[in-house]
Amino acid sequence: MKRRTSALSVSAAALLVAAPLLTGCSTDSHPGAAAVVGDERISVSQVQSQVEHVRAAQRASDNADQLIAATGALPQETVQLMVRRELLERTAEDNGVTVTRGQVQEARDRVVQNFGDTEQLEQFGLSYEGGAFTIDQLDDVLREQLLIEGLVESIGEQGLGPAVAETAERLGVDINPRYGAWDYETGGFTTSDTPWLAERADTLQG
């Protein structure tokens, strides 16, 4: 399957170890937080729970070692994922963009059909380097993409990045240094090699 990490594609669907979880350390102003977006606090325990959920599914797979090795930065990627989704939700709200459960279900049906079965889809999700996910987290992944597509339709592809960056500046983004940092000049995470609003690959669209 082909993966690309270039600019956001309007049509792309977001798809979006036993390695120890990161503990301790928090932002100076928000003890116990992995990140804070405006008034939304993302706790270290929330991040650990999500990471372990994925790790448990990976360890249960026949190719556990490969999956874990491919997603070694999962804790950091999980924080970035949770921050990104919060910013997208706030930006969508500001621009009158909504996503219904029915839209998510329709997208899910298309994705499952494209992959042929849920087992192949989950293997893809568990190996995805940009933020591994399990099959029961697919709806959240699809909701994220639908928000992106709705925003692009509303404000244009060129307006998406600036709109999210404005949301981040208005709300304030505080990242636990253990997981990275938010760069207000670039509108993204300093630990990421590619723009965080990157194309997640067109594999889900067939």
Q: Which CATH number fits domain 33-205: 3.40.30, 1.10.1060, 3.55.50, 1.10.4030?
A: 1.10.4030
**Interacting residues of 27 by C-beta distance below 8 A, sequence separation 6+:** 33, 35, 36, 174, 175, 176, 177
Helix axes 138-155, 157-171, angle to 10 degrees: 110
| Amino acid 117: pLDDT | 82
Tokens 């594609």 found at: 9
| Amino acid 8: pLDDT | 31
Instruction: Give the span between the Cα atoms of 196 and 199, in whole angstroms.
Output: 9
CA 179 remoteness from chain centre: 14
| Amino acid 23: pLDDT | 30
Q: What is the 8-class DSSP label of residue 119?
A: H
Amino acid at the residue 28: D
**Interacting residues of 58 by C-beta distance below 8 A, sequence separation 6+:** 17, 64, 67, 68, 71, 126, 132
* Complete DSSP assignment for 3-50: ---SB--TT-------PPPP-S---SSSTTEEEEETTEEEEHHHHHHH
* Domain map (residue ranges) of the chain: 33-205
| Amino acid 29: pLDDT | 53
Instruction: Give the span between the Cα atoms of 105 and 125, in whole angstroms.
Output: 18
pLDDT averages per 10-residue partition of the chain, 206 residues:
33 29 41 90 95 95 91 90 94 96 95 88 87 92 95 94 93 91 79 47 41
Helix axes 118-127, 101-115, angle to 10 degrees: 100
| Amino acid 28: pLDDT | 52
